[in-house]
Every structure is written in C-alpha cells, then in structure tokens.
C-alpha cells in the first residue's frame, strides 16, 4: 500500500511536523521552506495533502495564508487543533547554569517570557522553532539553548532541560488539512460541520451589513470572520469566513445565496466535520 504523502512548512521537528505525525502516522513527510512552496506542491500533485496552520490562540492568524487560499484554491478536508508545548533544549552536556542565550521563533520567545525573564536569558530571534534546534545541534556551545518541540529534541539529539515553559498552558494552533481533490462529507444530522469560504464584496454602501443579514435571518452561526486587503490595493477587501453548518442544509444554502447577491466573488474552500476540540468548549 502506497504511503500517504504530506507536506508542511518549516524544518523537521516543527509543530506542523508534529501535527502531520499525529494526523497521518507513518506517512511520507516533506518539509518545505515556505508556505508558497507548500501550497504549490499540493496544487501540482493531487496525491499530496498539506497541513497548514491558519491561526493560533495567542498570536492570531498566520501571516500570508489568507492570500494563498484564494490563489491556489485548494480544498479543506478537515481541521486539527494542536496544543503547543514549548521546551528548553540544550546540548547533551549542558545544564541550566550554562545557558546565557535562548534562540527561537519570535512568537515562541514572546510566549515564554516569564521563564526567559526569570532566568535572565538574552534572546536570539530565528526563523522558526525547529530551525533553532537544528542550528543548536551543529554547535558545541553550551551557553545557547533553543525553544522547540520534544520532536525537535528527538530529531536533533538534544536534551530537554525544562518542559512546558510557555506562559499559557492552553496555547493552541488550528491547522487546516488541504489537497487539490474536491470532496466533502455527506450531511449527517448527528454531526457538526464547518463550511469555509472566501468572498469579495461589491464596492457599494452597506454591502457587508447586507450580506451578513442572511446568516442572522437563517440562524447560521459564524465562528470566524476576518478581512484582509487585496494585494496591491487599498480599495478592495477579501473576507475569510467559517460558519457552523453543512452546505446541504437549507438554512446554510439560503444564507450563502443572500451572501452571493452582495459579492463580486465567492469561493467555497471546504465543508468538513468540526473538530471534537470545538465540542469541548
């Protein structure tokens, strides 16, 4: 049986890599330098799935993703919520008293401020968490530590000096699992679904107010609505929208029909089962 092919952005050991392994055990994994290259792989090869972070509970939306979604028009097949657990990694012969500097992605540094200030570490900003661990593995310098995942420690043969050093223990990243293949689950009234779309409004007064009225009238709950500028212009805005419901439900169809009256473009990016993480809330 051929292995599932999965791609993500970042170095091996990144939190996206961790999500890939949890979602697709024993899959064939490819690490990509940029989000653009990750999307392009799935666009060019329908056998690839990609695991993409869309938002973080502390840092908000992930930059660039909203622009790549309408560009490549990949289909969302599911969502995954991954708890982010930061760890202090060092060389095998290093101890806490040796550490003077800590290296990681800017967001990871920000999310571990209490631990960093307590230990009076100087910070070194890097491109990503796993990349920081990889760089650390290439040096014998005991004064430098990295903030990264446990998977990074395993891959790059580093010691976990302190686990779970993040300020907030509910730090969570939402991932989208996407591919070129278009498919959606049949509606089952006993299950909960998310429908995701991107739309561009007509440039007329009250267009946003009018298009949202259909969701209120039909009792459709919106779980996310974000605006982002169309590149190279200040005149038009795209909107990313997540709603609770399946496109086969009459109320969702009516709400989307109302939305379409007031838009220049409307792309349904996916209909998929809501993660059980949402049901815990």
Same domain membership, residue 262 and residue 244: yes
The predicted pLDDT at position 60 comes to 86
The predicted pLDDT at position 124 comes to 96
Same domain membership, residue 10 and residue 73: yes
Q: Count H helices and E strands in the chain, helices first.
A: 10, 15
The predicted pLDDT at position 201 comes to 86
Same domain membership, residue 239 and residue 200: yes
- Other Cβ atoms closer than 10 A to 93: 9
Counting the structural domains of the chain, the total is 3
- pTM of the model as a whole: 0.92
Which region, left, alpha or beta, applies to residue 164 given φ > 0 means left and ψ of -120 to 50 means alpha?
left
Distances (CA, A) of 210 to 132, 177, 223: 48, 31, 18
CA distance 165 to 160: 11
Residue 64 placed within a domain: yes
CA distance 268 to 200: 12
Same domain membership, residue 74 and residue 33: yes
Residue 142 placed within a domain: yes
Same domain membership, residue 214 and residue 236: yes
pLDDT average, residue stretch 49-54: 97
Looking at 115, 175, 199, 215, which residue is catalytic?
175
The predicted pLDDT at position 11 comes to 95
Question: Is the pLDDT at 281 greater than 60, yes or no?
Answer: no
DSSP 8-state symbol, 22: H
Residue 260: which CATH number?
3.30.70.260
Residues 6+ apart with CB under 8 A from 272: 76, 77, 78, 79, 184, 185, 193, 194, 196
Question: Which structural domain range is residue 15 located in?
Answer: 5-83+172-179
Residue 185 placed within a domain: no
Same domain membership, residue 60 and residue 27: yes
Same domain membership, residue 79 and residue 10: yes
Same domain membership, residue 91 and residue 142: yes
Q: Strand 28-32 relative to strand 237-244: parallel, antiparallel, unpaired?
A: unpaired
The pLDDT tens digits of the residues spanning 203-251 come to 788 888 888 999 999 999 999 999 887 766 666 788 999 999 999 999 9
Same domain membership, residue 206 and residue 258: yes
Residue 186 placed within a domain: no
34 is catalytic: no
Mean pLDDT for the chain overall: 93
Q: Which residues pair with 228 in a beta bridge?
A: 238
Distances (CA, A) of 16 to 2, 28, 132, 233: 22, 14, 15, 32
The predicted pLDDT at position 170 comes to 87
The pLDDT tens digits of the residues spanning 18-51 come to 999 999 998 999 999 999 999 999 999 999 999 9
Residue 120: which CATH number?
3.40.190.10
CA distance 49 to 29: 10
The predicted pLDDT at position 269 comes to 96
Same domain membership, residue 138 and residue 202: no
Same domain membership, residue 107 and residue 49: no
Question: Is the pLDDT at 84 greater than 90, yes or no?
Answer: yes
195 is catalytic: no
The pLDDT tens digits of the residues spanning 158-210 come to 999 999 999 988 899 999 999 999 889 999 999 999 999 999 988 788 888 88
The predicted pLDDT at position 208 comes to 87
Residue 184 placed within a domain: no
The predicted pLDDT at position 197 comes to 97
DSSP 8-state symbol, 249: S
Strands across the sheet containing 159-162: 122-126, 101-105, 144-148, 87-90, 159-162
Distances (CA, A) of 221 to 27, 160, 185, 253, 278: 35, 43, 20, 13, 14
DSSP 8-state symbol, 27: -
Residue 26 placed within a domain: yes
- pLDDT over 90, % of the chain: 80
CA distance 201 to 190: 34
Question: Is the pLDDT at 280 greater than 70, yes or no?
Answer: no
Looking at 129, 173, 195, 263, which residue is catalytic?
173
Question: Is the pLDDT at 5 greater than 70, yes or no?
Answer: yes
DSSP string, 181-222: S---PPP-TTS-EEEEEEEEE-SSTTHHHHHHHHHHHTT--E
Same domain membership, residue 114 and residue 50: no
């Amino acid at each position: 049986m051929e292995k599932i092919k999965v791609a993500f952005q970042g170095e091996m050991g990144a939190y996206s890599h961790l999500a890939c392994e949890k979602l697709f055990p024993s899959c064939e994994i490819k690490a990509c330098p940029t989000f653009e290259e990750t999307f392009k792989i799935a666009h060019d090869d329908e056998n690839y799935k990609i695991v993409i972070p869309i938002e973080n509970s502390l840092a908000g939306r992930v930059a660039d993703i909203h622009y790549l979604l309408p560009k490549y028009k990949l289909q969302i097949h599911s969502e995954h919520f991954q708890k982010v657990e930061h760890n202090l990694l060092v060389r095998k012969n290093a101890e806490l008293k040796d550490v003077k500097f800590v290296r990681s992605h800017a967001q990871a540094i920000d999310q571990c401020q209490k631990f960093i200030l307590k230990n009076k570490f100087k910070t070194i900003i890097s491109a990503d968490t796993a990349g920081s661990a990889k760089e650390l593995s290439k040096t014998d310098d005991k004064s430098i530590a990295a903030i990264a995942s446990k998977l990074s420690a395993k891959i790059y043969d580093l010691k976990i000096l302190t686990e779970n050093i993040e300020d907030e223990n509910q730090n969570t990243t939402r991932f989208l699992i996407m591919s070129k293949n278009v498919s959606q689950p049949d509606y089952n009234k006993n299950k909960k679904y998310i429908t995701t779309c991107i739309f561009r409004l007509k440039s007329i007064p009250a267009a946003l107010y009018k298009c949202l009225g259909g969701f209120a009238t039909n009792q459709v709950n919106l779980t996310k609505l974000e605006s982002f500028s169309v590149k190279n212009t200040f005149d038009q805005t795209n909107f990313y929208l997540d709603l609770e419901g399946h496109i086969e439900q009459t109320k969702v169809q009516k709400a989307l029909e109302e939305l379409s009256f007031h838009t220049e473009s409307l792309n349904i990016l996916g209909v998929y089962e809501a993660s059980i993480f949402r049901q815990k809330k």
